[in-house]
Each structure stands twice: as C-alpha cells, then as structure tokens.
Chain A
Amino acid sequence: MTRQAKEIIIKYIFFVFSLVSVVVLGLIVFSLFREGLPVFGKVSLKDFIFGMEWYPTYDPPSFGIFPLIVGSFIVTLIAILIAVPLGVLTAIYISEIAPQNIKAILKSVIELLAGLPSVVLGFFGMVIVAPWLQETFDLPTGLNIINASVILAIMAIPTISSISEDALYAVPQEFKEASYALGATKYETIARVILPAALSGISTAVMLGMARAIGETMVVLMVAGGAAAIPESLFDSVRPMPASIAAEMGETPFRSLHYQALFAIGIVLFCLTLTFNLIADYVSHKFRQVGSGTL
C-alpha cells in the first residue's frame, strides 16, 4: 500500500469517528421531535406554552407548562446571579493574583466541585440546607426557589470559573505590561485592561453556566419542591421543566398524550439551551479581541 493510500484511509477513519457524535446528536434530536410533536395535534402550542395548569393525569388532562417555564427561569436566574460574581472573581484570583501553590490547590478543588455528582448536591440541599433555611427564616418549607438556586449556583461555578479563567489567561502579556508601564496599579490593570479584554470569553462562560443550570435535573427534582404553580415569593416551591420530565416519565404509559407532552417539554428545553449556546457563540464572535488578544 502506498503512503498516499494510507493517508487517505486514515483520513476517512477519522472522518467517520468525528461523524459519530454528529449522527448520535442528530438521532437524539430526531427522536425527541418525533415523540414530542404529536402532542400539538391535541393541544395548541399557545395553550401548551402559556397554559397555567399542569394536570397531565386527570380526565380531561391539562398540559399548560407556563408555571414550569417560570420555575425554570427564576431558579436559573437567581443561580446565575449568585454564581457569576463568585465564578468570575474566583477566576480572576486564580489567573491574576494567587501565588503558584495556592493556584494549584484552588484549581484542583474547583475541578473536584465540577466532578461532584448532582445527586450528592441534591441530597445535601434536601437534608441540610432545607431544614436550615426553614428553621432560620421560619418558613413553611425549605424546599424552595432559594434552596434550588444556591445548589444550582454551586454547580454552575466550576463551569463559569474555568472558562473565564481560560479567557483571562488568553489576554496577552503585552497588555498587562503596557498597563503597568503607564503606572496603573494591579487593581486598575485587572479592572480596566484584563477584564474588558476577556469579556467575550467571560460572557461565553456565563451563557454556558446558564445552559448548565437550566438543564440540570437531579438538583431541582430534589430541592425545588415540585409545586406546579407560579411562585409568589422566593421561598415558594417551584417545579422546573427537567424535574417534571424526570419525575413523571417513569410512570407514564408509553406513547400516551402525557408521554408526548413530556417529550414536548424536552423540545422546549432543547430550544432554550440551544438559544443559550447560540448567544454564547454570537457574543464570543462579536466582541472578540482582534490582533494579539484573539482567543
């Protein structure tokens, strides 16, 4: 066999391997839509998205997921409000301030945090955070928005901090040197030179953190309380979309309307995370540093 033939064969082998993940994704999306779309023959899209009542097993059933969407968004939003400052500041500390040995420890601890199974965090939220919240604030229940948001924030921090750190690391040395040469302090350099230069990367980190939080299932299933109503306060229980799917899929009859409705929730979630990813992609291109700062 000639060398060229070998090269060609190897090229195609790699091509096939890289195709596998694309094909798998395609098949998953296909089956998601195939199982979920039929529900819209029975329930209009508007009633599905904006319906206020989620009673899938009653007769007649109602499939309104608006309270579930609100639940997902509010929990994600608060989680991000907590996770972004923590994640970004951690990244700044690690990449710009920390001495070498602390940096090594911090990085591995954060990696460890990323590796914690969500069920462990969920259990922590259920058994420790919930009773504590309830006693401290004298609440009727500790399984609520705040609890779920805090736990989700813990899960989103590693994503946000490691991607932000990559972005900060990619800021060229010349920028910092120029800043110092002009007499800027360390704080001024970080706040006015490094952060703006890394902003697109940090935004990507935030969007990916949001995608991570909104799709997270186990935590919201265990600690959000699961009430399918629009919350009136931050201490009310909610039922985010992934929790509904996970809780109900096991018991629903195969290919029933309820089953299809759960897949349709999956479609909604898929569209949301896709949107987050597209925004992240757009932001990172639009605000990309050009020249030597290019990521």
Chain B
Amino acid sequence: MLNIFKKTVFAIVAFALMSGVTFAGSSIVIKGSTTVLPIAQGTLEAFMKKNTDVQISLSGGGSGEGMKALIDKTADIATSSREIKKEEVELAKAKGVSPVAHVVANDAIVPVVHPKNKVKNLTIDQLSQIYQGKITNWKEVGGDDLKIVVISRDSSSGTFESWDHFVMKKAKVAPQAQMLASSGAVVTAVAKNRYAIAYVGIGYLNKSLRPLQVNGVTASAKTALSKEYPLSRELYMYTDGEATGDTAKYVAFVKSAEGQKIVVKEGFVPLMDVKKAGKSKK
C-alpha cells in the first residue's frame, strides 16, 4: 500500500517535473543572424506542424544580437553566420552559459553584378583590390569603361566577416564603399545599378543579379560542399550546453534529411548530399 502511495507521489512529482521541463522546452526562443533566418523559419514551420505542442518564436537582429540573447538567457537558440567570438565566450562563461555550436547548413558567398555587366569571372585577388579601392574601373578587369561602385555589407554583419575572412584577409574596405544594412538592400541596389559589385549569400541569388565566378569556379551547392568554391562558410545554431528536450529535438530536425531539404529549398547548401538536392537557386 505504502509502496503504491510512494509510486503515486513519485509519478506525480515526476509528471510535475516533466511538465515543467516540457513547459520550458515547449516554447523555444530563437534569435540571431538574418542570414540563417530563412532556414530557421522554414524548419520551425515544418517542425511545429509535426509537434503541435511546441511553440517556437523566431526573431532576427544579427548574429551578435543572438549571442547576446543566448548569454542573457533570453533565447534558447542563437543562430549565427559566424563562429562565436572570444569575447562572447568569455562573457558567456562569466554568466554561467556554455555555448555549444551546431552546424546546420553551409552557405556560399557569391560576388554579384548587374546582369548587363560583361565581366564573368574575378580572382580573389581582383575582388580584394576592388574592395580596397585599388581597382576602380571595370575596364581594368575586362569590362566596360565604367566606374566601379563597391557595395558591401555593414562591417558588423556576419556576411561581411566571412567576406573579410575569405577575400580581404584583413585589408580594409575602402571608406567610399557603400555599406548596406541588409542582404535584401544589397540585392535591390545591385539589380538597379550597372556600375555595382556586391556580395550576398547564395540564398539571395535571383534573376535580377548575375553571380560571378570566383577563380573560375561557379558557386553552386555541389562546388560549395566539395569546398571547390573558395567562398563557402558554415552556418550555426548555438545552444547553452548540449541541447535538451524540445530544443534538442528541433536542432536534430534541422540537421536531419528532412530539415536539410528545407535548407536546400531556401537556397542554402545542405550539410550532406541530400538526394535530388537540385539546384541551389530559389
């Protein structure tokens, strides 16, 4: 009798604990990189359709903003288009948070020009010279006699950091370069400007822009995955410690074949060779 009583109490306590856990887990807060936003959006919609008891809220703000939220414990998952920075790790440690990285997709950064531009291919060195303001006319790289309008992302965006890492290699972008605040703004600016050069994540390519080859390699899911395309990077989701509960389930879903199909659909490069992955364009 006592045994049964004990068991009942145990069950109730366990239930309460679990429901507490599910309650905490059943609403997941995701915040961070605008680059990863379409992936998070697509996967969480599919995930919530299958797990109707889980509520996921998603917001952008940038990789740094996401890390801030993770460190302040106001987000369960921080999405990021870059690896966590040293300062952020230190700050996290001080607050008792231990960020763990999960690679959820690959992204390729593609230099783009107006469709009327004749230039088809640039080397990394040429790209660097253009962004440093040392090459200022398209005719120097085989195009028409037009001034080059250099368009960059803001120096704090994850995409900029990857560009800096792959192309600039710590050289400074000329101050005359336009610094636009979002990838969407970059696409609009280049689509309407035949003088312009810019760079975007592969997910942002569309018919209004023409992607350039880099060192003779065309950016695609295949070349990015094989690392043949030189400007490819990993996209992350960070959790506090190893993910638990529904957060873990969600991260696992993103990495699963089903989640990776969404990654492909959103125009990014999947972690593995998803069958019939198809083209990387939207």
- Chain A residues close to B by CB (< 8 Å): 53-59, 67, 126-127, 130-131, 134, 140-143, 221-222, 225-229, 236-237, 239, 243, 246-248, 250-256, 258
| Residues of the A chain whose Cβ atoms lie less than 8 Å from the Cβ of B185 | 126, 222
Show 25 residue pairs from A and B whose CB-CB distance is below 8 angstroms, ordered by the A residue: A55-B155, A55-B172, A56-B155, A57-B160, A57-B161, A57-B164, A127-B188, A134-B192, A141-B178, A141-B189, A142-B192, A226-B178, A227-B175, A243-B181, A247-B179, A250-B61, A250-B62, A251-B63, A251-B65, A251-B158, A253-B64, A253-B85, A253-B87, A254-B91, A258-B156
Interface pair B177/A143, CB less than 8 Å apart: no
CA distance A46 to B112 in the complex (A): 39
CA distance A122 to B61 in the complex (A): 19
Partner of A248, one of B61, B154, B174: B154
Interface pair B154/A67, CB less than 8 Å apart: no
CA distance A161 to B183 in the complex (A): 37
Q: Are A252 and B188 CB-contacts (below 8 A) given A55-B172, A247-B154? A: no
- Chain B residues close to A by CB (< 8 Å): 61-65, 67-68, 71, 85, 87-88, 91, 147, 149, 154-158, 160-161, 164, 170, 172, 174-181, 185, 188-189, 192-193, 195-196
Interface pair B71/A134, CB less than 8 Å apart: no
Question: DSSP class of A's interface residues: helix, strand, loop or mixed?
Answer: loop
- A sample of 16 more A-B contacts (CB under 8 A), given A59-B170, A130-B192, A253-B68, is A55-B155, A140-B149, A141-B178, A222-B181, A226-B179, A226-B180, A227-B175, A229-B175, A237-B178, A247-B154, A251-B157, A252-B64, A253-B85, A253-B88, A254-B68, A254-B91
Q: How far is the CB of A16 from chain B (nearest CB, A)?
A: 30
CA distance A252 to B64 in the complex (A): 5
| Residues of the A chain whose Cβ atoms lie less than 8 Å from the Cβ of B176 | 227, 229, 236-237
Interface pair A221/B155, CB less than 8 Å apart: no
Q: How far is the CB of B142 from chain A (nearest CB, A)?
A: 19
Q: Return the chain B residue nearest A262 by Cβ.
A: B156
Partner of A228, one of B61, B175, B193: B175
Closest 9 CB pairs of A and B: A250-B62, A251-B156, A226-B179, A229-B175, A251-B62, A251-B64, A247-B154, A247-B181, A248-B156
| Residues of the B chain whose Cβ atoms lie less than 8 Å from the Cβ of A53 | 175
CA distance A140 to B91 in the complex (A): 44
Q: How far is the CB of A140 from chain B (nearest CB, A)?
A: 5
Partner of A140, one of B147, B177, B181: B147
CA distance A53 to B176 in the complex (A): 11
Q: How far is the CB of A261 from chain B (nearest CB, A)?
A: 11
Partner of A67, one of B147, B175, B188: B175
Partner of B179, one of A141, A227, A236, A250: A227
Q: How far is the CB of B76 from chain A (nearest CB, A)?
A: 18
Q: Return the chain B residue nearest A231 by Cβ.
A: B176
Which of B68, B147, B157, B178 is the most central at the interface, judged by chain A CB atoms within 10 Å of its CB? B178
Q: How far is the CB of B201 from chain A (nearest CB, A)?
A: 15
| Residues of the A chain whose Cβ atoms lie less than 8 Å from the Cβ of B179 | 226-228, 239, 247
Which of A53, A243, A250, A256 is the most central at the interface, judged by chain B CB atoms within 10 Å of its CB? A250
Which of B62, B85, B170 is the most central at the interface, judged by chain A CB atoms within 10 Å of its CB? B62
| Residues of the A chain whose Cβ atoms lie less than 8 Å from the Cβ of B193 | 134, 140-142
Partner of A221, one of B87, B158, B161, B181: B181
| Residues of the A chain whose Cβ atoms lie less than 8 Å from the Cβ of B161 | 57
Interface pair A247/B156, CB less than 8 Å apart: yes
CA distance A186 to B178 in the complex (A): 50
| Residues of the A chain whose Cβ atoms lie less than 8 Å from the Cβ of B149 | 140-141
Interface pair A225/B91, CB less than 8 Å apart: no
Interface pair B195/A141, CB less than 8 Å apart: yes
| Residues of the A chain whose Cβ atoms lie less than 8 Å from the Cβ of B180 | 225-226
CA distance A53 to B175 in the complex (A): 8
| Residues of the A chain whose Cβ atoms lie less than 8 Å from the Cβ of B154 | 226, 247-248, 251
| Residues of the B chain whose Cβ atoms lie less than 8 Å from the Cβ of A221 | 181
Interface pair A143/B178, CB less than 8 Å apart: yes
Interface pair B91/A58, CB less than 8 Å apart: no
CA distance A251 to B87 in the complex (A): 13
CA distance A131 to B195 in the complex (A): 12
| Residues of the B chain whose Cβ atoms lie less than 8 Å from the Cβ of A228 | 175, 179
